[in-house]
Structure 1
């Protein structure tokens, strides 16, 4: 904490604490959703848009994993109930890895679809 002398008295300013719930909500829900919406393909499916959408999904889930790890670190640092947050972190990480795998499968499917359309139109 920081202290300042004011008229012979010491005033202690409390430091702002980052809340675990804020880290988890932003990192697991808000940021991945914003990335997905910002990098989604709202037009025809192209190789660029397929790669962009898959990259957004992987980036969002990477942020979710890092947020879960950050929440565990905050819990250890503050000496709070570790068991509950570890269970939550394992669930988040497992879901994120599953979502990353699904993004890879979707990318392969999209690229196959693009290749099939190009073959049918003789490009």
Structure 2
């Protein structure tokens, strides 16, 4: 957890250096980002543990972002609106699925379970 926070903090520092010339603003950005990560890491971790499909959704988002970055590197621009819409739509569908799974208490059995006859001598 601490290593991930450090990596994201370094990323925040590099971003802040590129965007702002005031040292105080850079320090405040890094402190705020680390504080938010520390505050929300537990609840988000618990939510992802309870809903493993969210983990797959997050991995697919990372894959999409990676493909878009590679495409940009090769000079093919993908409009960000398309990416954001696809991610928001996928997230909304997943939230609906989670809500539906909470309502259904037991899985649907389409057939009676098959149990072969047992020939036990009496």
TM interval, shorter chain, is 0.3 to 0.5
* Structure showing greater relative contact order (alpha-carbon pairs closer than 8 Å, 6 or more residues apart): 1
Structure-2-length-normalised TM-score: 0.37
Q: Looking at CA atoms only, which structure, 1 or 2, has the larger radius of gyration?
A: 2
